Amino acid sequence: MKRVIYVVIFLAAAAALYAYAYPRLAGVTAAHAQQAAASGTGGGNGAGSGAAGKSGRSGGGFATAVVTAVAQRQDVPITKSAVGFIEPVNTVVVRSRADGTITKVGVEEGQTVKAGDLLFQLDDRAVEAQIAKDKAQIAKDQANADAAEATRTREEDLVKRGADPQSNLDAAVAAAKAAEATIAVDQAALQADEVTLSYMTITAPIDGRVGTVNTSAGNVVHAADTSAGGLVTITQMSPLRVSFTIAEGDLDRFRQA
């Protein structure tokens, strides 16, 4: 039994010694092999091989790629960087040019509109009535003018025959001219009311994008309103411009470019 124990202990000690000594013996053997290989190479090539070996040790043994190019002269573009801002060319604040109540809003915030598109419609019944009155007044004064012209013609005939004095003819001529002037006044009033009627329909003056709509149907607007936003703001989106700041020393170069 003791012999078996001794054999086991001996085998374990031998295994431990082998595990400890074999890696070191293998390292020494590999080192001797490399030294022998280096000595053999040096013997065949002399001093040159020794220098190559020293260079190989100092350079780590890696080759360095070298790329060549032909030197030449050419223009190199000069670039400048700056922070810029995109700005619209035209921005219109739409306001009412007449007093009235908004009956219809034909645009929404952010909508793209064309020049002439309906934005707002004001109550135009009072203006329509005034235009009808103007036309009736013109018809009435035209009838008076026709009567005055007929009187003038009759007086001319009587004066030529000596039946009436010249003063009657002069009065008839003055009355005819006054009637014509009255018609001219009536027509001017009609034109003014027609212009006011055109103000009842507010359309887009330019193409662009609509901003915030600052009113709604039922509100009363005034021509004297001077609020910053007006009824709505339209910003032209095409074309746009870019503004940026550069150093004063580069200004001439930019202008030449």
Q: pLDDT tens for residues 7-24?
A: 667 777 777 766 665 555
Selection from 98, 76, 62, 111 nearest residue 232 by Cα: 111
Cα separation of 228 and 211, whole Å? 13
Confidence of residue 79 (pLDDT cuts 50, 70, 90): confident
Our separate counts of H helices and E strands in the chain read 5, 10
Q: How is residue 34 written in tokens? A: 């490399």
105, amino acid identity: V
Task: List C-alpha distances in Å: 5 to 12, 13, 15, 18, 99.
Answer: 11, 12, 16, 20, 123
What integer pLDDT is reported at residue 47 of this predicted model? 41
Give the CA diameter of the chain.
Answer: 184
Reported pTM: 0.61
Cα separation of 159 and 161, whole Å? 5
Higher pLDDT, 7 or 107: 107
Would the pLDDT of 49 be above 70? Answer: no
Cα separation of 229 and 244, whole Å? 27
pLDDT > 90 in the chain, percent: 51
Ramachandran bin of 63, using left for φ above 0, alpha for ψ from -120 to 50, beta for the remaining angles: beta
Cα dihedral 192→194→196→199 (10° resolution): -140
Confidence of residue 78 (pLDDT cuts 50, 70, 90): confident
Would the pLDDT of 67 be above 50? Answer: yes
Least-confidence region, from 23-32, 77-86, 206-215: 23-32
What integer pLDDT is reported at residue 161 of this predicted model? 84
In the predicted model, what is the mean pLDDT of residues 105-114? 95
To the nearest whole number, what is the mean pLDDT of the chain? 83
What integer pLDDT is reported at residue 66 of this predicted model? 86
How many other C-beta atoms are found inside a 10 Å radius of the C-beta of residue 137? 17
Would the pLDDT of 26 be above 80? Answer: no
The continuous run of DSSP H or E covering 61 comes out as none
Most confident of 14-28, 59-73, 119-133, 243-257: 119-133
The continuous run of DSSP H or E covering 54 comes out as helix 47-59
In the predicted model, what is the mean pLDDT of residues 38-54? 44
What integer pLDDT is reported at residue 185 of this predicted model? 96
SS3 (DSSP) at 22: helix
What integer pLDDT is reported at residue 50 of this predicted model? 43
In the predicted model, what is the mean pLDDT of residues 172-191? 95
Q: How is residue 208 written in tokens? A: 């662009």
Selection from 171, 91, 190 nearest residue 132 by Cα: 190
